[in-house]
Structure 1
Amino acid sequence: MSAAVPNILTAARLVAVPIVVWLLLADGGADGPMRWWALGLFLAAAATDYLDGYLARRWGVVSSFGKLADPIADKVLILGGLACLVIVDGLPWWPLAVLVVREVGVTLGRLAVAADTVIAASMGGKVKTVLQLLALTLLMWPEGPAWFDTLGWWSLVAAVVVAVVTGIDYGRRIVAAARASRAPAAVTEADADAGS
């Protein structure tokens, strides 16, 4: 049972996303009780990101599913929350657009080589996630002081910069993994041609 707990937490984070989105949209930027519920659920879901990784390492049950699904759950949570803030609070759309392109590109690249190689999260990717969580927490906070919005915005900008830099690095690693997986096949075909 313990082996399944980290993956269950990851799945719970995915389930929380539509609820957070619904609460934010239903609140409509009014900073009412639904906004507080959305913030609380967002923070609880974000906490599972640390907890599932910690438990997986502590119990020695790190899985390929966890390495792939965990970052996807993070992306869906953050992008879903950010999209809602663009809609209900009028937050500029361009950070969301840059992050969506980066996350979709990295995720598709990871899936393309998943059969042969798991591209684990880098330290830069973890820094990006922390910046995004900080930004969304501050920007989502109902009726927070003005400096919450200022710090939240610049944290988001910093997250976008880190996302672009790490996205390039992920792209390089994915291309290298794809080339490495094709190399044995090329050698096998060459051997077959030599023997025929």
Structure 2
Amino acid sequence: MNLANKITLVRIFLIPLLIIVLQPYPLWLENKMPLFAHLNEWGMIYAAVLFLLTAAMDKLDGYIARKYSMVTNFGKLLDPLADKLLISVALIMLVCLHMVPSWMVMVIIGREVVITAIRVAASHKGIALAADKHGKIKMVFQVIAIAAVMLNNSPYISLTNFPIDIALMLVAVTLTIYSGYNYLRMNYDRLDLKM
């Protein structure tokens, strides 16, 4: 396994840590262990930093794979899967915390499930479908929007009461729908899909 794929696996292994810092802990646990009180107070900040770091590692593994000719079919399948897991886990946790409307999360995760199923079907046929530029733009906006939600609109909250985080989520949902449609349109002939 090459370095780029190892970085992708590290990204996947960091996702449970995101769940730990985003998890609200009950008062009785806070009273028993100060660590949990600390996580309840600062966990969202840690989550935002961890989320942004893990998302940034996506650029690192892609850069290494291209620069040192480490692009593999396994990496083409694993890298988007790591992205989808990161985004899905973060969104599910934010819905549980009542910070993001559930319908937005259903649209985003629904798109990811469909595209992942298509990628898996393609890989069984020996076809590796890499992410296109629309998918990458969508990913960037999802990361920005989720980070804005985690940071509770900081630092914008000092300038305006406008819910920038939800506006960014709406943009991310729109781009998610468009990129999913475009991905299907561009690849249906390779997979014998009829649209």
Select the residue among 73, 76, 94 that pairs with 1:85: 94
Tell me what 1:13 maps to.
11
Select the residue among 85, 107, 112 that pairs with 1:103: 112
Structure 1 residue 57, shift from structure 2 partner: 0.5
TM-score between both structures, scaled by the size of structure 1: 0.82
Relative to its length, the structure with more helix (as a share) is 1
TM-score between both structures, scaled by the size of structure 2: 0.82
Cα distance per residue 1:128-153 (max 9 Å; x no partner)? 00000101111101683435972222
Aligned length: 177
Distance (whole Å) between structure 2 residues aligned to residue 164 and residue 86 of structure 1: 19
Tell me what 2:45 maps to.
36
Q: Is the 8 A contact 1:131 1:155 kept in 2?
A: yes
**Is the alpha carbon distance of 1:149 and 1:95 closer, same or farther for their aligned partners in structure 2, counting shifts above 3 Å?**
farther
Instruction: State the SS of the aligned residue for 2:82.
Output: helix
> Larger radius of gyration, structure 1 or 2?
1
Q: Is the 8 A contact 2:12 2:82 kept in 1?
A: yes
Q: Is the 8 A contact 2:99 2:149 kept in 1?
A: no
Structure 1 residue 92, shift from structure 2 partner: 0.8
Select the residue among 130, 133, 141 that pairs with 1:120: 130
Tell me what 1:191 maps to.
none
Tell me what 2:189 maps to.
176
Cα distance per residue 1:64-115 (max 9 Å; x no partner)? 1111111110111011111111111342111100011100000001110113
Distance (whole Å) between structure 2 residues aligned to residue 13 and residue 148 of structure 1: 34
Distance (whole Å) between structure 1 residues aligned to residue 120 and residue 127 of structure 2: 9
Tell me what 2:75 maps to.
66
How well do the aligned residues superpose, as a CA RMSD in angstroms?
2.3
